[in-house]
Homo-oligomer: A and B are copies of this chain.
Amino acid sequence: MKSVGRELTRVDAYGKVTGEARYTADLEPKGILHAKVLHSEIANGKVKSFDIAEAMKVPGVVKIVTCFDTPDCQFPTAGHPWSVEKAHQDICDRKILNERVRFYSDDIAAVVAEDEVAAARALKLIKVEYEEYEPIVTVEKALDAGATPLHEDIRKDNVIAHSHMIMGGPDFTFEKAVSEAEARFGKENIEVIDRTYDTPRISHCHLELPVSWAYVDANGKITITSSTQIPHIVRLCTAMALGVPAGRVRIIKPYIGGGFGNKQDVLYEPLNAFLSMQVGGRPVRLEISREETISCTRTRHAIEGRCRALFTKDGRLLARKLEAYANNGAYASHGHAICANCGTVFKDLYADEMGSEVDCITVYTSSPTAGAMRAYGIPQSVWFTECLTDDICAVTGEDPCDFRMKNCMREGFVDPGTKIPFITYGLKKCIEEGRRYIKWDEKRAAYKDQKGHIRRGVGMAIFCYKTGVYPISLETASCRMVLNQDGSMQLVMGATEIGQGADTVFTQMASETTGISCGNIYIVSTQDTDVTPFDTGAYASRQTYVSGKACKKCGELLKARILEYARYMLANEVSDISKTVYAETVREAKNRLKESFGITDDEDIKTELIDLEEDCIVMAKEGAAFSDRRLFALSVLADTAFHSLDRSQHITAEVTSHCKENTFASGCCFADIEVDMPLGKVTVKDIVNVHDSGILINPKLAEAQVHGGMSMGLGYGLSEELLIDEETGRPLNGNLLDYKIPTAMDTPKLHVKFIQLNDPSGPYGNKALGEPPAIPVAPAIRNAILNATGVAMNEAPMTAERLVKAFKEAKLI
């Protein structure tokens, strides 16, 4: 491959570095109005009334709307493809503004003003009277028999869903496995451990805040420019929220400053549109502050997992069981999908000899809504599996790396429920590569029997991750390509660049398939639902895989059309080519081609004999040098196709690719750390992620992708947690001063390795890479701490406070 695999500089690099690239806020028109949202100051209850009299007196205030003014339409917010099957439709449990308050900071009213200051001043003057219920912030409280149902209109309790999955036969239960194992191996030869691991509620911390601006044109068409990962889905859900047909809504997505799944939800677009409708269609902007983003948009699910494992003392993994409780917060958003995903990987990642069992429960609570976040339930899942595995090894005394090599998911694995296959199996190669890189065996030996307050340890964690969402959900993507007058190409993807480098890899894919050089491909980065082909958007690790297939299919079609036009130009009977400025060029090319293939003068040239390469029409002759095969420049063909008096043709191609394939990616993290026990401080001395992600489209971008994920993993493991007061439901650290994401100062040098196996299901041998890097880092560090100190931390993040407490309990300090 020529373009795929190249370290092409990001196509948006210069624009982003120079500040020229235009984001949502850069595109706002003059005279735009400013909106601010009023959030509830109770966590559970009902708005009884508003007094807006004082607020309306603030000069510059144009309009105040409350939850009593918004349409009575319930809508879903999850950035899934909508489904025409009832069972797959997302839960419609939210209104544009909510009279029924379900968490501290629920949206209850909004102010539109000529400027931000007026809007902010008015917000403070609105008086609200509530009917208050007891906050139910924890899963435990929400599952209490007497708990208020948060969504009494659609659910009689607070359980969103409960699912049960097993491997090991239809009758498998963990308890039965234990009895059977006792009989088979003897009670003395087996062990059962039962641990509960906990994961935090965290914030996505994307750079650009959720911002949108909307206007309504004189025909009633609503246009929203928004920083979203999923423009086409925002279109549909906004229409549902407003009770208008989808064709009336247009979403424009310019460059966006990250999303990590938070913008895979419909956030404030429906409210923004509604506010514009209330002020005669005038443009209204709605930018959510960092504090609102943390508390009022989405979080990663805090999932608690009770994990049990059954194994032989000599290290055969027999069975495991997970009971997972996901705190979904106030609204369903992605609902149970995330906790179910967590459960699926728990059972898939190891080849339990007897079987495994998973119970997943997703629960409404009066806390911030959890939604999609990079790796969608799997950081939690892998926290469970990888803590559990090292805890097993702590019992058996076996090397955790050896244990995993023996017991991890096998080559040829196919998920029995989803039928997703592990097509190219790089997992064990990754483990071997990481083990070698970190010098595992030397270090495990060296770090034995340490004394003192500062100790070293190495730890590891593995993971698997599916690539797209098929067959759980629809995977569809579209692409349009247009040949320009100069032989360059416009590439229009429904898939969205959200900072991850999608535009660059699609450019490389389009080049690879068509033979048009990357420099001559102009990707249209902005998605505009008025003209951009349909794609569900940037989520899962789907775009290079699913949308990549659309790009490839479209490229093949465009190329076929170009070659067909070339054949026409080279045909014997073309009246106008001979009159054009290219007559001599084409005649000469035809002669060389006929001579080269031994074609007689009365034979026409078939498309099989020609190809498109390096922006030129060439002879399809293997082995010959490019210069000998070159016939004429694509620009000659393009100019002719546009302007020919005989056959003018605007050569374009547009396809939908409905993807009905999926494949597992996998990998691992190895970390070498130092623990200062009295300080509760963990210093990462060396760390490497090794990924089995198929062929890399752009190794430089792939590495950057992994860096970002590892950094996220460090925060997940060591510092990040959004704390909610259990009594009041108030966020305790809902700002970037108190909520701790790793800074550059906290981040060690990050190492990345790849095992590149050509996955035949991927358009270019590629499979998931977008999300996986964030998965294994936290448990690898946890296991390194265990190695260093013998202390098993069951709760992430492993903050200084928790570490010191644990070390004290272990009497190490």
List residues of chain A with CB under 8 Å of any chain B CB: 11, 14-18, 20-21, 26-27, 29-30, 81-87, 217-219, 221, 235-236, 239, 245-248, 281, 471, 474, 476, 478, 480, 482, 484-490, 492, 494, 520, 522, 524, 528, 530-534, 576, 579-582, 635, 639-640, 642-645, 647-650, 652, 654, 656, 658
| Residue ID in chain B nearest A235 by CB atoms | B485
A91–chain B nearest beta-carbon distance, Å: 15
Q: Is the CB of B582 within 8 A of A84?
A: yes
Given A486-B246, A490-B531, the answer on whether A84 and B580 have CB atoms closer than 8 Å is yes
Given A485-B235, A485-B246, the answer on whether A20 and B218 have CB atoms closer than 8 Å is yes
- Assembled-state Cα–Cα distance A582/B648 (Å): 43
| Residue ID in chain B nearest A219 by CB atoms | B14
A420–chain B nearest beta-carbon distance, Å: 15
Q: Is the CB of B643 within 8 A of A649?
A: no
| Residue ID in chain B nearest A647 by CB atoms | B658
State the copy count for this chain.
2
Q: Is the CB of B530 within 8 A of A522?
A: yes
Looking at A239, A245, A645, the one whose CB has the most chain B CB atoms below 10 A away is: A645
Q: For A16, what are the chain B residues with a Cβ–Cβ distance below 8 Å? A: 218
Q: Is the CB of A21 within 8 A of B639?
A: no
Looking at the complex, which one of B83, B218, B579 makes contact with A643 (CB distance below 8 Å)?
A: B83
Q: Is the CB of B658 within 8 A of A648?
A: yes
Q: For A640, what are the chain B residues with a Cβ–Cβ distance below 8 Å? A: 84
Q: Is the CB of B14 within 8 A of A218?
A: yes
Q: Is the CB of B492 within 8 A of A531?
A: yes
A579–chain B nearest beta-carbon distance, Å: 5
A215–chain B nearest beta-carbon distance, Å: 8
- Assembled-state Cα–Cα distance A492/B218 (Å): 19
Looking at the complex, which one of B15, B247, B476, B522 makes contact with A488 (CB distance below 8 Å)?
A: B247
Looking at the complex, which one of B87, B524, B656 makes contact with A648 (CB distance below 8 Å)?
A: B656
| Residue ID in chain B nearest A17 by CB atoms | B218
* Nearest 5 CB-CB pairings of A with B: A247-B488, A14-B218, A476-B648, A15-B218, A84-B580
Q: Is the CB of B81 within 8 A of A530?
A: no
Given A640-B84, A652-B654, the answer on whether A21 and B485 have CB atoms closer than 8 Å is no
Q: Is the CB of A236 within 8 A of B485?
A: yes
- Assembled-state Cα–Cα distance A487/B650 (Å): 27
Q: Is the CB of B84 within 8 A of A644?
A: yes
A-B contact pairs, 22 of them (CB 8 A): A17-B218, A20-B218, A20-B281, A21-B217, A26-B29, A81-B642, A83-B645, A84-B582, A85-B579, A85-B580, A85-B581, A245-B635, A246-B484, A247-B484, A248-B488, A471-B645, A492-B531, A494-B650, A534-B650, A647-B658, A649-B658, A650-B656
A344–chain B nearest beta-carbon distance, Å: 19
- Assembled-state Cα–Cα distance A580/B218 (Å): 36
A89–chain B nearest beta-carbon distance, Å: 8
Given A522-B221, A531-B492, the answer on whether A84 and B639 have CB atoms closer than 8 Å is yes
Q: Is the CB of B85 within 8 A of A652?
A: no
- Assembled-state Cα–Cα distance A72/B191 (Å): 85
- Assembled-state Cα–Cα distance A522/B531 (Å): 11
Q: For A221, what are the chain B residues with a Cβ–Cβ distance below 8 Å? A: 522
- Assembled-state Cα–Cα distance A581/B82 (Å): 12
A76–chain B nearest beta-carbon distance, Å: 13
A277–chain B nearest beta-carbon distance, Å: 13
A801–chain B nearest beta-carbon distance, Å: 46
Looking at A235, A239, A476, the one whose CB has the most chain B CB atoms below 10 A away is: A476
| Residue ID in chain B nearest A16 by CB atoms | B218
A268–chain B nearest beta-carbon distance, Å: 21
Looking at the complex, which one of B86, B235, B245, B645 makes contact with A581 (CB distance below 8 Å)?
A: B86
A263–chain B nearest beta-carbon distance, Å: 20
A438–chain B nearest beta-carbon distance, Å: 40
A602–chain B nearest beta-carbon distance, Å: 26
Q: For A81, what are the chain B residues with a Cβ–Cβ distance below 8 Å? A: 642-643
Q: Is the CB of A218 within 8 A of B484?
A: no
| Residue ID in chain B nearest A11 by CB atoms | B219
Q: For A530, what are the chain B residues with a Cβ–Cβ distance below 8 Å? A: 490, 522, 524
A116–chain B nearest beta-carbon distance, Å: 16
Q: For A642, what are the chain B residues with a Cβ–Cβ distance below 8 Å? A: 81-82, 476, 534
Q: Is the CB of B15 within 8 A of A648?
A: no
A198–chain B nearest beta-carbon distance, Å: 36
Q: Is the CB of B84 within 8 A of A488?
A: no
A7–chain B nearest beta-carbon distance, Å: 18
Q: For A471, what are the chain B residues with a Cβ–Cβ distance below 8 Å? A: 645
A550–chain B nearest beta-carbon distance, Å: 9
| Residue ID in chain B nearest A643 by CB atoms | B84
| Residue ID in chain B nearest A644 by CB atoms | B84
Q: Is the CB of A533 within 8 A of B84?
A: no
A577–chain B nearest beta-carbon distance, Å: 9
Given A29-B26, A235-B485, the answer on whether A522 and B17 have CB atoms closer than 8 Å is no
A201–chain B nearest beta-carbon distance, Å: 31
Q: For A82, what are the chain B residues with a Cβ–Cβ distance below 8 Å? A: 485, 639, 642-643
A273–chain B nearest beta-carbon distance, Å: 16
Q: For A488, what are the chain B residues with a Cβ–Cβ distance below 8 Å? A: 245-248
Q: Is the CB of B85 within 8 A of A218?
A: no
Q: For A643, what are the chain B residues with a Cβ–Cβ distance below 8 Å? A: 81-84, 474
- Assembled-state Cα–Cα distance A247/B639 (Å): 12
A469–chain B nearest beta-carbon distance, Å: 11
- Assembled-state Cα–Cα distance A217/B576 (Å): 38
Q: For A482, what are the chain B residues with a Cβ–Cβ distance below 8 Å? A: 531, 533
- Assembled-state Cα–Cα distance A530/B652 (Å): 12
- Assembled-state Cα–Cα distance A394/B86 (Å): 83
A239–chain B nearest beta-carbon distance, Å: 7
- Assembled-state Cα–Cα distance A492/B652 (Å): 14
A142–chain B nearest beta-carbon distance, Å: 30
Q: Is the CB of B247 within 8 A of A485?
A: yes
- Assembled-state Cα–Cα distance A480/B653 (Å): 11
Given A247-B522, A648-B656, 13 additional A-B pairs, CB 8 A:
A20-B218, A21-B218, A84-B640, A85-B576, A85-B581, A87-B579, A246-B488, A247-B489, A247-B520, A471-B645, A480-B654, A490-B531, A522-B530
Q: For A235, what are the chain B residues with a Cβ–Cβ distance below 8 Å? A: 485
| Residue ID in chain B nearest A89 by CB atoms | B581
Looking at the complex, which one of B86, B239, B533 makes contact with A486 (CB distance below 8 Å)?
A: B239
| Residue ID in chain B nearest A81 by CB atoms | B643
A171–chain B nearest beta-carbon distance, Å: 28
- Assembled-state Cα–Cα distance A283/B246 (Å): 34
A777–chain B nearest beta-carbon distance, Å: 33
A565–chain B nearest beta-carbon distance, Å: 11
Q: For A27, what are the chain B residues with a Cβ–Cβ distance below 8 Å? A: 29
Given A281-B20, A492-B531, A652-B654, the answer on whether A247 and B579 have CB atoms closer than 8 Å is no
Looking at A15, A480, A534, the one whose CB has the most chain B CB atoms below 10 A away is: A534
Q: For A87, what are the chain B residues with a Cβ–Cβ distance below 8 Å? A: 579
